[in-house]
Structure 1
């Protein structure tokens, strides 16, 4: 068996494991939503099934060599199954992947010894990774100054998805005397790091995307770095991650609705003997299935385009297509998460089912950036060929 056959066999196995997690995780997802706590159990299970290793370099036992343009469609098939099982855990999982790319990207200035240690922590101990970047609503930029043996970091980051289980953060910051973005890699349990536990939203509650304050936090040399820029396809990849986060609640809601209707088997009108003979039930199920499958197919088709992307070609068309995928996934998820109650009926609104979490999760993440603006930029591209503004691509 050659190397490619071995990789394909591993991917097949990981895909099978993700499909099983899709069935396993909904129970804990409902509990996490009710308690407004971190998705600790789900993230541990995702790690135990070997999925944290997907984005590691080959030399550390990974699949796609920390390159988003390798095995892109396979990654998103896996991510979508996790999202369907628990959309908060799925969002945490894709953040884990993004920070893994950042740490192990070829050409950044992290030493090999640091990469060896981080790979061990991720692969063998299930250490979780937080992308500590957003300063929306924060008092000012996070900064660092050089001291003997390292840096000292100060400031506040507003949204820190995947930080509820501790782990490490890759903190985007401004370094005194240096232009451009810089990063510090630090454990969240060290002195000077205060996690506010203030994540209290109506949806995506298990992401525990809390505020973190850094107060004179020391980062030793070897754990701070500058990146070497992203590949032309990377921003499109990020938008596909956003789309997957959106589509997950729709897929999960559809799974839950089918299970509920089959078990209850109650038609909408007495002239039908069962739910399976009820044409209105079948019509709604068919409509939801079409919307979800169309959005999923659009996402996976664009993932294949990322794999085939020529580094010399203009990436704008791919950016615009990725925008379109996100819009399609938002539409499908919001529609399906509302329509399931027409399938399941009033009894399904009982809190013990927590079916409303699917809509709350979808509606919450849909507010990340305005869908109307995406549609305007897409329309402008097709009508006039005008490129979307850079702000549309880099919003955090």
Structure 2
């Protein structure tokens, strides 16, 4: 074997990210997750530059066997706990934040059916999902009220549109959220096959980050909805409102994944390519004390955020396993997630922007694509204002009252 081939072989055996900094232990799934992350990372920079829909990479997700992680075992899935699912999301986000977003939202739709579907609906939709290895998309944006559900004689009809429909393009089925009246709590979820007549998914997402999340609009024109496709029960309960908690913690993992990817890439670049500043008096950039201090500061930001995300995920899992969740228990979960999300946003924005001070001007070349980490975090961190999370925490500290369940808390 040539020295070049030997080096390539060793590189292929090494973890994608520095294992001593970012351990990737997913048990029996470790090899699968590592292989998938490596496949996504191989073309992430080029695809980020191109934008559009990454249908080939979505098929890599489908082929990985990981789409059924959240489907309960009794319906043919793997029934994996949320902390492990979130760790996988975070690791994939370090490689390709857009595809990790799609992967995470897959499990959010599965969870929606578990939270809102009747036993028969869960058996039907989740059983089909596991058996046919479905990819789920969504049209659930609660702030977009441009979609209307009208009852006909023995069925319902959808007309209008939904925006920010991540994963809808190329999905096998969609979870759709629609406001049935002006009452805030009168919101219903329903499930439709994506090929239903009158349903059109537009490829019109053009954000400067998260560029391949297929988060465009979906149009509905006289779309038939059978009554069995409306998920029940209708109305909120402490358990059903865990959906917002699940969603918020997904965002937290995407922020931390981008922070991990940015740190790992910057450290490698500094060791291998950065040139020392002439006045530093050192032979290698990695020996510059200012660069060392900057990396130390960024590492502390990442390390401070990580355990909060892990603790929040475990609290969510504990709540998920309770058949009778109280409002107070649900509020504790929401507070933990607020803490994790705010700290993760701040850490990720700092890390993804400040790595350039460590790498130098040459690292801004578009061929490296290091800016994609910041762009991804900046776009997704605007999903809902973190100021309101901080306010919720302050209100709790002063009054002892947890946040009221909402679409974002």
TM-score above 0.5: yes
CA distance in structure 2 between the aligned counterparts of 1:151 and 1:174, rounded to whole angstroms:
13
Find the counterpart in structure 2 of residue 26 from structure 1.
41
CA distance in 2, matches of 1:191, 1:232: 31
* Change beyond 3 A, Cα 1:52–1:281: same
TM-score relative to the length of structure 1: 0.85
Aligned position for 1:5: none
Cα distance in structure 1, aligned partners of 2:230 and 2:330: 30
TM-score, scaled to structure 2: 0.82
Shift of 1:232: 6.4
Partners of 1:196 and 1:211 within 8 A in 2: yes
Assess if the C-alpha contact under 8 Å between 2:83 and 2:314 holds in 1.
yes
SS of equivalent residue, structure 2 residue 102 = helix
Distance 1:83 1:274 in 2: 30
Q: Counterparts in 2 of 1:104-115, with a 5 A limit?
A: 104-105=114-115, 107=118, 110=121, 112-115=123-126
Q: Offset at 1:250?
A: 1.3
Structure 1 residues 216, 337: closer, same or farther in 2, change over 3 A? same
Q: Does 1:131 align with 2:142?
A: no
1:216-266 CA distance string (max 9 Å, x none):
112345433224653565543332112112222211211221222233142
Please give the alpha-carbon distance, in whole angstroms, between the structure 2 residues aligned to 1:241 and 1:282. 31
2:110 corresponds to 1:72: no
Aligned residue number for residue 207 of structure 2: 201
Match of 2:130 among 119, 142, 145: 119
Any stretches of 5+ residues in structure 1 without a counterpart? 1-9, 65-69
Question: Residue 84 of structure 1 is aligned with which of 79, 83, 94?
Answer: 94
Aligned residues of 1:21 and 1:81 also touching (Cα < 8 A): no
Q: Any conservation in 1 of the 2:118–2:231 contact (CA below 8 Å)?
A: no
CA distance in 2, matches of 1:165, 1:305: 33
Alignment equivalent of 1:244, drawn from 229, 234, 253: 253
Does the alignment pair 1:334 with 2:340? no
2:5 is matched with which residue?
none
User: Given that residues 112 and 243 in structure 2 are in contact (C-alpha distance below 8 angstroms), is that contact kept between their aligned partners in structure 1?
Assistant: no
SS in 1 for 2:118: coil
User: Given the superposition, is the C-alpha separation of residues 372 and 135 from structure 1 closer, same or farther in structure 2, using an over 3 Å criterion?
Assistant: closer
Q: 1:268 to 1:219 in 2, by over 3 A?
A: farther
Give the secondary structure class of the aligned counterpart of 1:294.
helix
Pairing 1:168–2:178 present: no
- Could you list the per-position Cα deviations for residues 105-124 of structure 1 after superposition, in whole angstroms to 9, with x for gaps in the alignment? 46355273444323222x2x
Aligned partner of 1:159 in structure 2 is 164
> C-alpha root-mean-square deviation of aligned residues, in Å?
2.7
- Structure 2 residue 67 is the aligned partner of structure 1 residue 52: yes
Residues 14 and 50 in structure 1, CA contact (< 8 A), matched pair in contact too: no
Change (3 A) 1:72 1:111: closer
Quote the Cα distance in structure 2 between the aligned partners of 1:233 and 1:195.
Answer: 28
Instruction: State the 1:173 CA deviation.
Output: 2.4
Contact 2:308–2:336 under 8 Å retained in 1: no
Q: Deviations over 1:75-118 (max 9, x none)?
A: 21111101111111111111100111223446355273444323
State the match for 1:3 in structure 2: none
Deviations 1:148-202 (A, max 9, x none): 5x432212111101123333211122569x9933333223233312223221111
CA distance in 1, matches of 2:150, 2:189: 10
Contact 2:137/2:169 (8 A) holds in 1: no
Shift of 1:344: 1.7
Q: SS at 2:258's partner residue?
A: helix
Structure 1 residue 361: deviation in Å? 0.8
Change (3 A) 1:213 1:92: same
Match of 1:304 in 2: 314
| Contact 1:132–1:169 (CA under 8 A) maintained in structure 2 | yes
Give the structure 2 partner of residue 6 of structure 1. none
